[in-house]
Amino acid sequence: MRFGLDVMGGDFAPGATIEGAVSALDSIGDGNRIVLLGPEDVIRHELAERGVESDRFDISHQPQCIAMDEKPVKALAEKPDSGIAAGFRLLAKGGLDAFASAGNSGAMLAGAVTHLKCIPGVIRPCTCACVPQEEGDAYSVLLDVGTTPDAKPEVMVQFAVIGSLYAQYLLGHANPRVCLMNVGTEDGKGNLQCQTVFPLLKECPHINFTGNMEPREIFKNRADVMVTDGFVGNILLKEVETFYRLMQKRGISDPLFDRMNYEIYGGSPILGVNAPVILGHGISSPLAIRNMLLQTKRMCELGLTQALRKLFADYVSESES
């Protein structure tokens, strides 16, 4: 398998990306290759500096670079020879099996939707984050964490379906418990969106819906899949990250807090498109890049995209019948 990495993506690129790619080599598996997409001279220089032979990687020379603050669609159109644009082109044609970048998240999302398209039946893609749970070492999946801020009710139901499959395949939860993130646990609570989504989740045959949950249960092992719209999910995630930062700043180490570190999972997958794509944090460190690549590998090995395609094929045929 071939995993593409956007070398120029992220605040600390290309140093952090190359460093992370090198450190992932030992775990990437025999026969698998990391494809470094970026300016060839930069890549060769960074590898040489680390005393790493360049033939341990595949190099795809892409001289252009999309900056973090560029307008996504415009940048993709004007910079076809950037790591992000080329990554999606290759992925769509089968030249890559997965693609990861810690670069411009808007461009990543636009690229995924334009080049890969949504899986038939999926209305909108979503991104998810893994939230550590108290007691034990389990993680739950929170989604959407930013892709779709004003998610329609039927889109939120799909988040629940997609999240359930992710929790099964990537986090090992059999029959994952799905909850709707809300401001109260009673049925019928919340804003208009939650009130509309609740009965739809209750009726959905593809998930194990167990009701509303509150943010105070976010670490309490109440749910394996926590469903919310992209605005609220992003707010929740950024608040978790804030607390992690405060702990780090104070040098406080703790089994729960330490697992809030985004570097552990390394990135948020963009789910619902036709190939595995992972979006890294802008501030990705070498460790985050390494784990982003290994998560990419696991998504490929476990066949998450194929499973989503199969599930949504059933989904579509059901709603047509």
**Residues at the contact surface with a second copy, assessed by CB under 8 A:** 146, 149-150, 181, 183, 190-192, 194, 214-216, 218-219, 229-232, 234-236, 238-243, 245-246, 250, 252, 254, 256-257
Q: In this structure, what token pair is assigned to residue 281? A: 């944090």
Which C-beta is closer to a second copy: that of 22 or that of 226?
Answer: 226
Residue 271 beta carbon to a second copy: minimum distance, rounded to whole angstroms: 19
Residue 194 beta carbon to a second copy: minimum distance, rounded to whole angstroms: 8
Residue 97, beta-bridge partner list: none
Helix axis angle, 153-169 to 304-320, nearest 10°: 140
Which C-beta is closer to a second copy: that of 27 or that of 242?
Answer: 242
Contact 176, 224 (CB under 8 A): yes
Residue 11 beta carbon to a second copy: minimum distance, rounded to whole angstroms: 15
Which C-beta is closer to a second copy: that of 40 or that of 241?
Answer: 241
Residue 124 beta carbon to a second copy: minimum distance, rounded to whole angstroms: 14
Residue 286 beta carbon to a second copy: minimum distance, rounded to whole angstroms: 22
Q: Which helix (H) or strand (E) holds 300?
A: helix 286-302
Residue 109 beta carbon to a second copy: minimum distance, rounded to whole angstroms: 13
The total of other beta-carbon atoms located within 10 Å of residue 250's CB is: 8
Which C-beta is closer to a second copy: that of 44 or that of 74?
Answer: 74
Which C-beta is closer to a second copy: that of 202 or that of 245?
Answer: 245
Q: In angstroms, what CA-CA distances link 17 with 6, 47, 51, 59, 103?
A: 8, 11, 15, 13, 10
Which C-beta is closer to a second copy: that of 34 or that of 213?
Answer: 213
Q: What is the 3-state secondary structure (H, E, C) of 195-251?
A: HHHHHHHHHCCCCEEEEEECHHHCCCCCCCEEECCHHHHHHHHHHHHHHHHHHHHCC
Any idea what DSSP says for residue 119? P
Q: Which helix (H) or strand (E) holds 318?
A: helix 304-320
Give the integer Cα–Cα distance in Å for 217 and 213: 7
Which C-beta is closer to a second copy: that of 61 or that of 152?
Answer: 152
Which C-beta is closer to a second copy: that of 73 or that of 256?
Answer: 256
Vertex 58 angle, CA 38 and 17, to 5°: 45
Residue with tokens 């889109």: 155
Residue 177 beta carbon to a second copy: minimum distance, rounded to whole angstroms: 19
Contact 232, 182 (CB under 8 A): no
Residue 219 beta carbon to a second copy: minimum distance, rounded to whole angstroms: 7
For residue 144, cis peptide bond before it (omega within 30 degrees of 0): yes
